[in-house]
């Protein structure tokens, strides 16, 4: 992994459901496989559409242009389904690390730390569930609560928060959990 300045994360981690994609208003483990691409869209057997939030391709392009590595952390009850959807949506290969299984996000982040060698304070995490943001934030990860799907503004808020926390404290444990999207 390339070295990153202290004000930039070494690892950027995203949740899937309600963060990178909308699965028709439900979690992906509530869908009905098989999944298929139909007229440029991904849908399940019942015809429910799964789509990336509009800004996600641009956000992932920017991440790939940075020295940061990319990872997924999802606690879905159907890991194979999530991986298949990520593949059909064209994003799976963009993530060097993928922790997709039913478990605490703390376990996901321990595995990411082991796999990448990144300390928690060098990680930036986006998730739609407050409990995940708080659990992972206590590890020292800078976390951003995504309230209505990933947007470029939320992404920029996260990068700015990461830089501010790093400059101010050198990354104090438990710090970094912020809520984005509220004024």
Residues that are catalytic? 15, 17
d(CA 147, CA 155): 12
Radius of gyration of the chain (CA): 16
Q: Considering Cα of 163, then 167, then 171, then 177, what sign does the dihedral take?
A: negative
Return the exposure string of 140-154: e unless at least 16 CB atoms fall within 10 Å of the residue's CB, then b. Answer: bbbbbbbeebbbeeb
Strand 123-127 relative to strand 142-145, pairing: parallel
Q: How far apart are CA 76 and CA 82, in angstroms?
A: 7
């Amino acid at each position: 992994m390339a070295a990153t300045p202290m004000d930039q994360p070494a690892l950027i981690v995203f949740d899937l459901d309600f963060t990178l994609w909308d699965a028709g208003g439900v979690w992906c483990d509530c869908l009905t496989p098989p999944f298929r691409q139909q007229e440029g869209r991904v849908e399940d057997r019942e015809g429910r559409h799964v789509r990336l939030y509009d800004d996600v391709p641009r956000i992932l392009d920017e991440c790939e242009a940075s020295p940061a590595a990319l990872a997924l952390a999802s606690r879905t009850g159907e890991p194979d389904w999530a991986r298949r959807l990520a593949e059909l949506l064209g994003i799976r290969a963009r993530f060097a690390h993928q922790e997709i299984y039913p478990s605490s996000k703390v376990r996901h982040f321990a595995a990411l730390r082991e796999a990448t060698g990144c300390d928690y304070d060098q990680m930036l995490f986006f998730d739609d569930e407050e409990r995940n943001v708080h659990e992972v934030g206590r590890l020292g990860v800078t976390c951003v609560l995504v309230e209505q799907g990933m947007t470029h503004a939320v992404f920029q808020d996260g990068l700015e928060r990461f830089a501010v926390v790093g400059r101010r404290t050198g990354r104090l444990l438990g710090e970094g959990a912020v809520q984005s999207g509220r004024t």
